[in-house]
Chains A and B, each alone.
Chain A
């Protein structure tokens, strides 16, 4: 156990994230995305954010990815596979992304070298501590997010429903 574990997992994250956007088949993209999210879960565990690790595991890898897979299976995208952007557009997109990386890294270089990340209190990311903060300081945003989820549910049902008059 050493800090090389972080670099190994970080390498895996970047590798699978690249596979997500370069895979030809959208189903493969979803599967690679699940692996990417799993590496993110490992990052959260390394940061001792256990609550976030569990939530990331259940919500992202469980719920959201199943939703993506369901929609992909429902749509049956066989005939629309042949189309892709022209090579020059792809090249320009990659160059633009690289420019973004270079800008961010360049601005990072301007910072002085940061201290190593040290966990000051062990129970920072545990459910007990986070629950206390969530239900005292962030009670109103928590309730508002329930309204957001309700409206999203109603909106999704309304959008995906077939028009009754035409059907």
Chain B
């Protein structure tokens, strides 16, 4: 384990922020351009993970374990969110026979 973590030495914090920003933006693009509700859901998972990685990097940077505890709570929250969200998608599919979000535009007006 020691020589693995040696690889960490020398990576600037800015590059972690850059990586997380790019992954987060990919998630945003996915939400904007896809119409399948499940793929939109997966993009939201991508955004959550980008934030998790950044929280861990900051936790190591500040030498404070609170950041990693927070990531743990976000993972519990994501599990709950996925369960409820997929149940909603299943219910929508049962009513409309599709997971296309454009069918569900009645709340738009």
Residues of A within 8 A of B (CB): 1-3, 5-7, 10, 13-14, 17-18, 20-21, 26, 29-30, 33, 36-37, 40, 43-52, 55-56, 59-60, 63-64, 67-68, 71-72, 74-75, 77, 80, 83-85, 89-90, 92-94, 96-98, 100-101, 104-105, 108, 111, 113-122, 124-125, 129-130, 133-134, 137-138, 141, 145, 148-149, 151-153, 155-157, 159-160, 162
Contact = CB atoms under 8 A, between A and B. Distances in A.
Given A71-B89, A115-B13, 14 more contacts: A1-B7, A10-B19, A17-B46, A20-B39, A21-B27, A48-B8, A67-B86, A75-B89, A97-B29, A98-B25, A130-B68, A133-B69, A137-B66, A155-B84
Contacts of A52: 52, 56, 68, 71-72
Main secondary structure of the interface of B (DSSP, over half): helix
A21 B99 contact: no
A124 B71 CA distance: 14
Contacts of A30: 42
Contacts, number: 263
A105 B19 CA distance: 10
Contacts of B1: 48, 50
B105 interface: no
Interface of B: 1, 3-19, 21-30, 32-36, 38-39, 41-43, 45-46, 49, 52-53, 56-57, 59-61, 63, 65-66, 68-69, 71-73, 75-84, 86-91, 93-94, 97-100, 102
A92 B28 CA distance: 12
B39 A145 contact: no
Q: Is the interface of A mostly helix, strand, loop or mixed?
A: helix
B33 A90 contact: yes
A89 B3 CA distance: 48
A130 B65 CA distance: 7
A120 B89 CA distance: 45
A50 to B, nearest CB: 8
Nearest to A111: B14
A36 B75 CA distance: 16
